[in-house]
Amino acid sequence: MKSLADHMPFAQLLGVKILEASRQRVLGELLVREDLCTTGGRMHGGAVMAFADTLGGIGGFLALPEGATATTTLESKTNFLGAAPVGVILRGEATPAHVGGRTSVWTTKITSADGKPVALVTQTQLVLMPR
C-alpha cells in the first residue's frame, strides 16, 4: 500500500518514510545521507525543513474539510536545535495546533532516533477549494 509521501516526488527524493498518518498525527523517518548534507557532514537546513513540510503537508491534507481538494504551505518557521550527522535516522512528528475551515497549523518536532532535538517547525497549511 502506498503512503501519501509516495505520491510526492520530492519526498521520494528525500527518502521520507511515513510510519503513521492521521488527522491527529503524522509520524515519519528520514535517513541523513551525504547528499542531504552541508559542510562537515551535517544535514542541510533546507532538507530538515523539507522533511517537516512533507509531514505537516500530509497532516494538512488529511485534515481537509469536506469539499476541499488540496492544501499548500502558506507559511513555515523553523527553529534549529541541533545538528544531524550523516548516518542518523531522524524522526518527525507533526501534530495539529489548529484545524479550521481555511487553514490548519501544524507543529513538527524533529529528533534523532535517540531523542536528541534537531528542529521544531510550525507551518500553516492553506485549504484549497475547487474552482
What pairs with residue 12 in β-bridges?
none
Q: Model pTM greater than 0.85?
A: yes
- pLDDT tens profile 33-64: 999 999 899 999 999 999 999 999 999 999 99
What pLDDT band is residue 131 in, cutting at 50, 70 and 90? confident
- pLDDT tens profile 69-96: 999 999 999 999 999 999 999 999 999 9
CA-nearest of 97, 91, 131, 93 to 111 is: 91
Contact assessment for residue 25 and residue 94, using Cβ atoms and an 8 Å cutoff? yes
- pLDDT tens profile 3-40: 777 788 999 999 999 999 999 999 999 999 999 999 89
Instruction: Please state the domain count of the chain.
Output: 1
Domain holding 27, by residue range, is 4-128
Residue 58: CATH number of its domain: 3.10.129.10
